[in-house]
Homo-oligomer: A and B are copies of this chain.
């Protein structure tokens, strides 16, 4: 047996124990802890003293059987190598501000994983869900509808209609704007690198935006697109592939800063000057982008703010506010630096 099991204070404290010691009814303890202003100052003081002295922590599980739990469930794609960590941070901060807890499960971009994760979360009867993409499978949508909980999707906001409400940017617009921006700086042959698009609407919309811009610009350059793994090594590989495919390529627009960073490092290895020999642009404005030398031209997206905003909107929905089908566009910004 481990030491924690023979510590003296092994009796489990309940509200009724605190109540008994304070000479009041259990419900009064409950009120003292959740709405102190409904209890007279003296009673409150006495109760809090006992709570403090005994180190009592109320059982949320039991409390959540009557009132709904102050828990928000969220599904996040793999955290590694992405800006998702910022979003989690934003959600976590917003939850803390409202006295909520974040129940986090991990999914990938597959519909099965999503469905499983949603089931796991709904089992806890959360106040709502935040999902880092569109809810994909019909089964999952139905489950959520049946459970009757609101959902905020952090996602591409173009095209599809969210279940309740989506928070995000138009990746299409952002990629379109960056492509136009690059053309405006005089680049003619513009390549596009992305990580595998499979099932990821955000990435798909970036590519579509890029293509639309190329078409609108009337540039005829053949196929200058490539998909690589989501690592900086992938960015390095993309540079090799594209410059081999078209040695006259002038700029590479990467669908993430990490890829852009990898491409920049590959140029270093080759001794290529940026942006003279080749220019590079990224997406996301990670800390990395501004600190790399040369600093990387990129699209700034406020992921932390998206996380916070998602929680705020979710709680509004949960409070009964209508949000059906709405999308909240948090916008983006082209950050022009030295790399392109």
Question: Which residues of A approach B to under 8 Å, CB–CB?
Answer: 1-5, 7, 9-10, 12-13, 55, 57-62, 64-65, 69, 78-81, 84-86, 88-89, 92-93, 96, 101-106, 119-120, 122-125, 142-150, 163-164, 231-233, 236, 258, 261-262, 265-266, 268-269, 287-288, 290-293, 304, 317, 320-324
Contact = CB atoms under 8 A, between A and B. Distances in A.
Given A265-B292, A317-B2, A123 B59 contact: yes
A80 B84 CA distance: 9
Nearest to A286: B81
A84 B261 CA distance: 21
Contact of A60 (B79, B80, B124, B231): B124
Contacts of A231: 287, 291
A114 to B, nearest CB: 13
Contacts of A292: 265
A58 B150 contact: no
A89 B65 contact: no
B287 A55 contact: no
B79 A124 contact: no
Nearest to A69: B61
A102 B261 CA distance: 32
A153 to B, nearest CB: 13
A105 B89 CA distance: 10
